[in-house]
Amino acid sequence: MGYVAVKGGAKAIEASIERLTYERLKQRRSLDVEDVAGGLRLLIDQVMSEGSLYDREVAALAVKQAEGSPEEAVFLLRAYRSTLPRKYYSRTIESETMRAERRISATFKDIPGGQLLGASHDYTHRILDPALLEEDHRSAGEWLDRWVDRAKGTGAVSTNGHYYLPKVLDYLRRQGLMEAVPKDDSPPKDITKEPLTFPSSRSERLQILTRGQTGAVTALGYASLRGYGPLLHPTVAELRVGHVAILVNPPQNSDAESEADAYYVGEIQITEVESVVPVTVSAGQNRSEISFELGYGVCFGRNETKAVAMSLLDQCLERPDAGYPTHDEEFVLLHIDSVEASGFISHLKLPHYVTFQSELDSARASRDGVDPGAPT
Amino acid sequence: VKKLYNFAFLDEGSKREIRRATLKAIAIPGYQVPFASREMPIARGWGTGGLQLTLSLVGRSDTLKVIDQGADESVNAVNIKKLVGATTGVSVTEETAEATLIQSRHRIPEVSLRKDQIVVLQVPNPEPLRFVEPQEAVTKRLHAEKDYSGAFLILFEQIVRHGRVAHGADHPVMVHDRYVMAPSPIPRFDNPKLDSSEALILLGAGREKKIYAVPPYTRVVSLDFEDRPFEVEDMSGRRCRICGAADVYFDELVDDETGETYFCCNDTSFCAAHRAASSVVPVPGRDR
């Protein structure tokens, strides 16, 4: 009678958990966490981003334990995160200070500071490479040595990235083509410590989007592009991947502003996207003109599709429109979280004996034409 | 990473925040208090709201009981019991009377509860008006204005379509003449147990990030119409094959050999106690 047998359920569950370990180890191979961290870089990035916790070692452990399932690994990270006291908020990061490893623009061919392709799958052919079947630690090391030698020789290849690149959007701003937005310095709400209420603030929306499930954010961003939105073609003004420094103010001087007063706690790699969307604005006297609005996307690690899709959804949600689900903040924000979506879907596998019995009672009564609600 | 987890898993700051939301919920019976629900080591939809309530309340002297759809040994109950046990070391029990803290998925125990006990119910969908209104911002206003025409409209439409109220479990209730509340998917059979309960009843929805409460001795009335009174599931004429009990909520089972339908108490700890106390001899060969 299934898995709610009156007795013995606990034993069956123990055995099931053991079986899971067996499945992980049955090839008699154990995956080294360092190999996970080194070789599954983009999976680690995705898991840290959706898990909302930046720690490559912990994420690699989660990926190993989850046998590579992103939803399970994210789940592990989020649960671990719930046990950590949160003591500080970092200072605002100005992303011009990013040590950029990649930086491209789709708006202008020539941008101040130049286009920097960095590392990307974008320019590869997706053809399986059988040579990787033979690759081992030694051949990997040899390739690396050759590449570094060449880099030293030319001076053109940097492994460190570039500092302080100006923002592409500043050009459009100076020309008055960007929609003017009043500066908003109100402190962001922390969605992990305060409940989300509607209508939401932009800080809340950005937090939920950045930790959204990659597939869900991509799908909804795609939908907005394809026609579940007012069919405007956004353009990526700038996409950057690089490292930014995290600075924390000393507790006794939490309002300090000078560089010297802050503690440097480390750096994180992020992907940042600023896209522009053309909008029609009224210019008075029945005239209208075209202007540009900003959509902002950012996430931990390298995940460009997600960051671009996030920038589209950010702009969508800035312009609520009941006609399109992608412009409905409750529809978007409440359904893109990996832990929430996968959790609630998976709960359908739990026993529903009580509730189904109750439904059955209603179903049978309605079929019998019996009307227990009628006065007797 | 290698360090052990905190007592009761969550950090103290989180627990305090959950308790504050709980106190507010008790002060406003039936009102859904939003809280910043934490991610838990069990899945959303598997009782994370209830679990957070339990972990924020549990102390070293507590005795815990966990039920999943009536059973102490079902997957969800085992999961939660193991986690709370491993992170707190509190004693667990299957005896309803021994427990100080009872977390339950979709049942209220058959035996009556006492004022020194707290029941924590797991809630998938805390919003009783969600069927008529998908938007949270709107349902919040409807509650504020005590506009419950939608809740009655759902019942009315069911009567028009099916000739009867067709809510299975989770039949909405009016709490102390003020808030309409989703009692969580307990069967209608358990709704009357909410009314003037001696035990404090807390309801936690982790995914939907809400906590609400039915404090002791609160009036709880299941929604109905004067000419269509509320009715619980029809359990008449059924007896438990194991313990012989009647007038309890039953699981419906099929005999592997004969193919005939038979019934067992859904509340397994009640069943075991009733069987021990009564002289009923189970049908030979069909003892489960």
Q: At A321, is the secondary structure helix, strand, or coil?
A: coil
Looking at residue B159, its pLDDT comes to 87
* All residues at 6 or more sequence positions from B288 whose CB lies less than 8 Å from its CB, including other chains: A1, A5, A6, B241, B242, B264
Q: How wide is the angle at C-alpha B285 spanned by C-alphas B283 and B288, nearest 5°?
A: 80
Decide if B264 is catalytic. no
Instruction: Tell me which residue of B144, B150, B136 sits closest to B210, measured CA to CA.
Output: B136
* Chain B residues near residue A65 by CB distance under 8 angstroms: none
Point out which residues pair with A258 in neighbouring strands: none
Structure tokens at A361: 């009672």
* Chain A residues near residue B79 by CB distance under 8 angstroms: 13
Is A343 close to B46, i.e. CB distance below 8 A?
Answer: yes
Nearest 10 degrees: Cα torsion B36, B39, B43, B44: 20
Looking at residue B286, its pLDDT comes to 42
Backbone angles phi, psi at A256, to 5 degrees: -55, 145
Looking at residue A321, its pLDDT comes to 87
> Could you please report the per-residue DSSP string of B247-278?
SS-EEEEE-TTT--EEEEES-HHHHHHHHHHS
Candidate from A78, A344, A354 with C-beta closest to B39: A78
Calpha distance A103→A114 (Å, rounded)? 8
Structure tokens at B249: 């909520």
Instruction: Tell me which residue of A201, A344, A338, A194 sits closest to B34, measured CA to CA.
Output: A194
Instruction: Tell me which residue of A220, A223, A199, A198 sits closest to A209, measured CA to CA.
Output: A220
Q: At A256, is the secondary structure helix, strand, or coil?
A: coil
- The answer, for B14 touching chain A at a CB cutoff of 8 Å, is yes
Give the number of C-alpha atoms closer than 13 A to the C-alpha of residue B208, restricted to the C-beta side: 24
Q: Please list the ranges in chain A whose pLDDT falls under 70.
A: 1-8, 153-162, 231, 259, 369-376
Q: How wide is the angle at C-alpha B83 spanned by C-alphas B82 and B86, nearest 5°?
A: 80
Interface of B with A in 190-219 (CB under 8 A): 207, 209
Looking at residue A281, its pLDDT comes to 78
> Which residue of the set B49, B50, B70, B271 is catalytic?
B271
User: Count of CB atoms within 10 A of residue A23's CB?
Assistant: 10
Give the number of C-alpha atoms closer than 13 A to the C-alpha of residue A126, restricted to the C-beta side: 2
* Residue B82 CA: distances (Å) to CA of B66, B72, B94, B284: 10, 12, 13, 34
Given a contact cutoff of 8 angstroms between Cβ atoms, the answer to whether A339 and A346 are in contact is: no
For β-strands B91-92 and B63-68, DSSP reports them as parallel
Given a contact cutoff of 8 angstroms between Cβ atoms, the answer to whether A332 and A324 are in contact is: no
Calpha distance B77→A13 (Å, rounded)? 11
* Chain B residues near residue A80 by CB distance under 8 angstroms: 1
State the DSSP code for B45: T
Looking at residue B116, its pLDDT comes to 96
Looking at residue A3, its pLDDT comes to 40
Calpha distance B108→B269 (Å, rounded)? 12
Is B164 close to A1, i.e. CB distance below 8 A?
Answer: no
> Which residue of the set B49, B70, B240, B264 is catalytic?
B240
| Run of H or E including A153 | helix A137-154
Instruction: Tell me which residue of B184, B216, B215, B191 sits closest to B24, measured CA to CA.
Output: B215
Is B164 close to A57, i.e. CB distance below 8 A?
Answer: no
Q: pLDDT 10s digit of each residue in chain B, 288 long?
A: 445 678 999 999 999 999 999 999 999 999 999 999 998 988 888 899 999 999 999 999 999 999 998 888 888 898 899 899 989 999 999 999 999 999 999 999 999 999 999 999 999 999 999 988 888 899 999 999 999 999 999 899 888 888 778 778 899 999 999 999 999 999 999 999 999 999 999 999 999 999 999 999 999 999 999 999 999 998 899 999 999 999 999 998 888 888 888 999 999 999 999 988 876 555 544 443
Cα end-to-end span (Å), chain B: 44
Backbone angles phi, psi at B106, to 5 degrees: 70, 20
* Chain A residues near residue B170 by CB distance under 8 angstroms: 355
Q: ipTM of the assembly?
A: 0.72
> Could you please report the per-residue DSSP string of B93-152?
-S-GGG-SEEEEES---SSPP-TT-EEEEE-S---TTTTT---HHHHHHHHHTT--HHHH
The alpha carbon of residue A93 is apart from the nearest alpha carbon of chain B, in Å, by 25
Give the number of C-alpha atoms closer than 13 A to the C-alpha of residue A49, restricted to the C-beta side: 31
